[in-house]
Amino acid sequence: MDNRPIGVFDSGLGGLTGVRELAKLLPGEDIVYFGDTARTPYGSRSRDTILRYGKQDIEFLLSKGVKAILCACNTVSSTLPETYTDALPVPFVGVVRAAAAAAAARSASGRIGIIATAATVRSGSYEAAIRPLRADARLTAQACPLFVPVIENGYLDRRNPITVTLAREYLAPIRAAGVDTLILGCTHYPLIAGTIADEMGPGVTLVDSGAEGALALRRLLEERDLLCGRVQGGNLSFYVSDSGENFAEIGALFLGRDLSGGIHPYTLLE
Ligand code: DGL
């Protein structure tokens, strides 16, 4: 048993998709979240910058005494080498492997779509994770660089004309490939899952990388006997590196609870 908090991080709001699932699966656990809102988006940056930011995010969570880390950012999860994550003093779960395994298991036809940031698509991380699990997989990946700023700015309504136009444009090649499963390979995207589902149609299963990461983390905590002693009443605290306004507003909508009292500003040192 271990009563220390779980650490979760992302470049901004996206990782809340992992927090929502974790809080549902493990309601007694304390969770410390870090959203690097001053430097979002990560997905259009260089590999070296993403590595630097990701390592700083992890150092911050370690300074809060967490017992395990969920990297609820596909961009960082695609970029950090295993030699680094394996050497961390606490267990580390990245969303890419978890979502890749779920997609490989759920797809009937093996035709799998991946939408993600430019950095995640460029890294080839999903292809590398799926191929050993499904030799017959036919993958179609599409970078959607404008989704993250649109989501961070709150254009979340299912019929928002800007979001719908972007989704139509980005998803056209995925639809043309006839996929039966689509990985939301950026943890921000479940916030516009309704618009994406409308574009893809009812025959396509969406895989939520944040939620899959949370499930993988629960399995790991169970296996290593690291769950806390409570079954209810876990505390959620949120740290953001820039203004918490949008974060509080959209986060409250998304998590279904008021965050205003639990958001703390924290600036990472360059
Ligand atoms: N939500 C993140 C991801 O899963 C990061 C998006 C970004 O900052 O570009 O990739």
Of 212, 233, 3, residue with least CA distance to 94: 212
The proportion of the chain whose per-residue pLDDT surpasses 70, expressed as a percent, equals 99
Of 11, 70, 38, 37, residue with least CA distance to 188: 11
> pLDDT category, 245, cuts 50, 70, 90?
confident
Looking at the CA of residue 145, tell me the nearest atom of ligand 1. Answer: 9
- Looking at residue 269, its pLDDT comes to 62
Q: How would you classify the pairing of strands 181-184 and 111-116?
A: parallel
Residues touching ligand 1 (Cβ under 6 Å) are 10-11, 14, 40-43, 73-75, 117, 120, 148, 186-188
More confident residue, 246 or 162: 162
> pLDDT category, 256, cuts 50, 70, 90?
confident
Predicted structure pTM score? 0.95
Q: How far is CA 231 from CA 77, 80, 260, in A?
A: 29, 33, 24
Q: Whose alpha carbon is nearest atom 2 of ligand 1?
A: 73
- Looking at residue 149, its pLDDT comes to 92
* Catalytic status, residue 71: no
In the predicted model, what is the mean pLDDT of residues 231-243?
A: 92
* Catalytic status, residue 144: no
User: What is the 226 CA–ligand 1 centroid distance (Å)?
Assistant: 28
Residues 6+ apart with CB under 8 A from 148: 11, 12, 14, 40, 41, 43, 117, 186, 188
pLDDT above 90 for 152: no
**Where are any strands of DSSP class E within 39-82?**
68-71
pLDDT tens digits for 21-78? 999 999 999 999 999 999 999 999 999 999 999 999 999 999 999 999 999 999 999 9
pLDDT above 70 for 270: no
pLDDT above 90 for 265: no
Q: Supply 106's token pair.
A: 């759920």
- Looking at residue 246, its pLDDT comes to 81
Radius of gyration of the chain (CA): 17
pLDDT above 80 for 215: yes
Mutation test residue for ligand 1: of 34, 117, 184, the one with most atoms within 8 Å of CB: 117
> pLDDT category, 177, cuts 50, 70, 90?
very high
